[in-house]
Chain A
Amino acid sequence: MKRMMFTLISTGVFTTITHAQNKLSISGFVHEAGSKESLPGAIVQVKDAEIFAATNEQGYYSLSLKPGTYVIQLYYPGYNDTSLNIDLQENKIIDLAIHPRNSLEAVVVTAKTGNAQEVRGSTHQLSSEQVKNIPALLGEKDVFKVIKLLPGVQKGQEGSSGFNVRGGNTDQNLVILDDAVVYNASHLFGFISIFNGDAIKGIELIKGGFPAKYGERLSSVLNITMKDGDKQRYKREVGLGLLSSRATFEGPIVKNKASFLVSARRSYADVLAAPIIKATAKGSSLGANFYDFNAKVNYQIDKKNSIYLSGYLGKDRFSSKSNPEKESFSKMVFGWGNTIGSLRWSHIFNPRLFANMSVNYSNYRMGINMQERFQGETYKMSLLSSIDDIGGKYDFSYFANSNHTIRAGYKITRHYFKPSTFVEIEKGQKFPNPNKEYESWEHNLYLDDEWKISKKLAANLGLRGTAFIAGSRPYFNIEPRASARFLIDDQTSVKASYTIMNQYLHLLTSSSLNLPSDLWVPATDKIGPQRAQQYSLGFFRDIEHPGLSLSLEGYYKDMSNIITYKEGVSFFDMEDPAELSKNGAFEDKVSSGIGHSYGAELMVQKPKGRLNGWLAYTLSWTKFKFEDINNGKFFYPRFDRRHDLNLVGFYELSPRIRINALFTIATGNPIIITRQDGTTVSNIPADGNLANPGIYLDNASIFSGRNDFRTELYHRMDLGIQFSRERKKGTRTWEFSFYNLYNRKNPFFYSMEYNNSGNERALYKYTIFPFIPSFTYSFKFK
């Protein structure tokens, strides 16, 4: 397989160089007219020819053509189609501008899957406008909530912000914000993600058929790009919601050369809830809040050089305190947050060779501080977990000719882990643990060729070499990547892909809780890297009338070396210094296992018109197996759902009124619950004689097999109505959202409890999100 890949790539590169010598190039950036915001993923096509190119992440394109006269057409979802006549007698650099549409079609679905011409399947692109239009809980627009409406993406638990792709754990998603990795993308215990829709330009989700450019995780890549900022005029936008408010400011620093964008959000649920808690809690207090801040500056030095500097800073804080005047007193502060930065230099060596060099920094910290006073003694505990990345990468794109685009690059990252630093102070005595810290280096090298082999057949072939050095055992792996598309006719295609992925980081997640207390840990001498291979096959068809795009994809994924906590382990006693005799490194607390996932995904989109939207259906199975869990038998992970159907619709009632709705229905989550209270024997005599009166009888809660039971069906409908009006100073929008319109009591968790009179023990279901009406107000200044 590896040899075949090498031969194919070598052949491609050779033919590329030969062909390139007879042609001229036309290249440049595609940007939004007015703001000059670059547009990644725009299609630049030569009319009446099978020649086209998609702009890269910086909006750059390059076409190789024979000398002649051409009509260049430009497409970008939500923008007016544009064409341009070109007389090409020498290499030309032409920047192309495209105007956004003003009608509802400006916010159409832009998911790529279903586009029969695209070489790769299993990919979706979303615009920030699309995220903003889907009705959301308490009006908080959230990227992750929209992603969960796509096929192949499992919902996870009600209210959770993490997502699972094609049977992968949440840690198997590579979430990138402007080239920097985001380790925990959730606010408020996962109810919303950290991405502020006002600062985002584009979102791309890749579920399979990964190009060699991407790696580091097994299951998906979620690539989020921040807006560059308007290069021509200043813009302000404010939004007020029930949970948080936000403000965005962007504009030119040097007109048409440099611009900036700053955007900030702050929640105030704690402020609003404070009087209620004060009135009812008798001296106790409770609060949760978050803030985040995005900033970006870019400067186009000349025609060939641009630099970008972007950053994100966000923090969550949850605190509780009992009445300090009472004899027993406790307080707790739980905080987590990300600090992310990226500096990028884009350089055009020549019209065919584009390069990006970037330096990235990413830090995620989680800390818990607890204090308890009881009978005059004070007990304190603090726990800190963090991961700190610094790295650099260099990527090249060589637009060799119309048939070949070759990409290559190298990335190096230093990871610094502190999985669990624990300090305990008991009766004035301090027990710092000899915390174990891990430093590791990760190297990634790739070569990738997007090759149009014939009019009907195209392929994306690549190789990625990875190395991870931590402790005394280095890991080296080669990852072949192959995607192919065969056009049956202009609007119908079949696509297939095969990928191998390795992941050198693990996330230790509690199976019973969904908290940011999850710990990132590296592959070590004892715990190997996660590995997956995935096969996918899909059928894609675009139907011109009535404008539908259809895709049907099947996949099979094998995973190995996935890890989880062993039975009975608590993240709190990972390295408890007071219990050093029973605690070791994290490797002793986890179990490595395997997983399989397979399924089929159907997506039908109607991307244009007054009524547009999509239907996504996923049929899937995911099973995990660990030697030390569930007596070594296969079990369904918590996020496994057999059926998952999502229907999303947008309707323009009038130019000023839009109605947005979604309906989702899915099989319940598998859960583990207590079934019996058993009487077991312990303190068994040395001779095994159970008639010995010295034996103890203990209570044992007997659980169902791991996740043996399914919760009831999950379903809900959300509705949003937007009223927009042009005002003298800008556009104001009122949006009324109705989450869970018919008040379906979807389960959050289950518990076996006694009733109030204590005479009956039964199963109770807790629901946290009933029918919730909300509104948001936003104003976009002219």
Chain B
Amino acid sequence: MKIFKIILLPILFSFIALSCKTKVPDGKLTRTDDAAMLFGFLNPDVDTITIALSLAKGVSNKKDKTITIADLEQAEVKLEHKGQSIDLKFLETRSGKYSNNDKQIVIFYTLQSKLPILPGETYTVSAKNNSLFDLKATTTVPSKDFDFDYTISGPFPFDHNYPEYKVNMTIRDPGNGISFLRVVTHVSIKDQDQSYTSYDVAKEVQQESNGIIKYDFSFNADLDNEEKETTLSCINTTESYFRYVTAIKKGAGGGGDPFSEPTSVYTNIEGGYGIFSAFCTKSKKIE
């Protein structure tokens, strides 16, 4: 048996030693170009139209195309509706809240007075920088013909900084214009800058039935604090937005679980990635 082991061990060693990782030589698999991403959510009730661009950096160092933030800033961004086209202006480049500095978006804007956003109408956005990127997307603004009521109960003790409240929403949709909706509770602090606003609950749900939609959810908030104002919003949105958010929630980007299935980032942007959608929002202050 000892001799047997003496013979076997070097073979086992050689097996381990020869098993290896090798760098894949240059080829189609190894080249990962940079791409541009576009985000936009049109809303008839907001004075300003904003479109954001960001980078999707190719993960390898081998690239045929490299795009920088400066390239995004120099993009030509247009919004079109029924033959009318307006240019959006560069506003700023900035990091997101709690984001690392290497995560940046480039924001373009225009005023709605120049191109009104109307429910039921279709709009096309484009963002182009010579041969580096050429993005295009279309969305149709959903109906505003809906309203909602709610009842709230609580507070309930919860293992959290703030107690829990339960909300029962009844959404009336007489025109059957809602296929995809979003519910947001929005807490802001009085007399302070809007940048302190946070979105504690954001749930996207699909329509449950025609006409009346019932939606129940809970959120955590400090409603007794008079310094804070809480708003409940119901948003009629597009299927594209719903699919984008669903993909992000499912872990596009990898949630760290090596056993999870790979998730495609949903996009409706031709020539790149991202989401171009529209919101129609109804909001009520929570008393």
Contact = CB atoms under 8 A, between A and B. Distances in A.
16 contacts: A242-B11, A273-B12, A567-B264, A631-B266, A676-B57, A678-B265, A680-B54, A688-B277, A688-B281, A693-B194, A700-B252, A752-B60, A767-B19, A767-B21, A770-B15, A772-B15
Contact of A683 (B46, B97, B231, B279): B97
A709 interface: yes
B42 A688 contact: yes
B259 A703 contact: no
A765 interface: yes
B135 interface: no
Given A678-B37, A687-B281, A688-B41, 15 more contacts: A276-B16, A517-B259, A568-B261, A570-B260, A572-B259, A676-B58, A680-B265, A686-B279, A686-B283, A688-B42, A690-B52, A691-B107, A752-B32, A752-B60, A762-B60
Nearest to A671: B29
Interface string A740-772: 000101000011100100001111111111111
A677 interface: yes
Nearest to B117: A688
Q: How large is the interface on B (under 10, 10 to 19, 20 to 34, 35 or more residues)?
A: 35 or more
Contact of A681 (B61, B62, B105): B105
Interface string A565-607: 1111111110000000000000000000000000000000000
Interface pairs A-B: 4 shortest CB-CB: A688-B41, A568-B250, A697-B96, A700-B253
A69 interface: no
Contacts of A771: 18
Nearest to A674: B59
Given A272-B5, A570-B257, A698-B253, A770 B20 contact: yes
A570 B96 contact: no
B83 interface: no
Interface of A: 240, 242, 269, 272-273, 275-276, 510-513, 517, 565-573, 629-631, 672-703, 705-706, 709, 711-712, 743, 745, 750-752, 755, 760-774
A745 B21 CA distance: 9
Contact of B96 (A272, A685, A696): A696
Nearest to B43: A688
Contacts of A711: 29
B45 A762 contact: no
B180 interface: no
A448 to B, nearest CB: 41
B259 A571 contact: yes
Given A272-B12, A694-B97, A745-B22, A572 B264 contact: no
A420 to B, nearest CB: 13
Nearest to A748: B19
Interface string B251-263: 1111101111111
A684 B275 CA distance: 12
Contacts of B158: none
Given A630-B264, A770-B20, A774-B11, A681 B57 contact: no
Interface in B15-47: 15-16, 18-24, 28-30, 32, 34-35, 37, 39-43, 45-46
A761 B63 CA distance: 11
A276 B54 contact: no
A681 B94 CA distance: 12
Nearest to B255: A568
Contact of A692 (B40, B45, B197, B251): B197
A745 B264 contact: no
A676 B34 contact: yes
Interface in B237-252: 247-252
A269 B9 CA distance: 10
B29 A566 contact: no
B19 A762 contact: no
Contacts of B260: 568-570, 573
Considering residues B30, B96, B98, B99, which has the most beta carbons from chain A within 10 angstroms of its beta carbon? Answer: B96
Contacts of B32: 675-676, 752
B55 to A, nearest CB: 6
Nearest to B99: A697
A694 B55 contact: no
Interface in B194-217: 194-195, 197-199, 202
A385 B274 CA distance: 39
B104 interface: yes
A634 to B, nearest CB: 14
B37 A566 contact: no
Contacts of A511: 261-262
B56 interface: yes
A772 B19 CA distance: 10
B112 to A, nearest CB: 11
A695 B250 contact: no
B129 interface: no
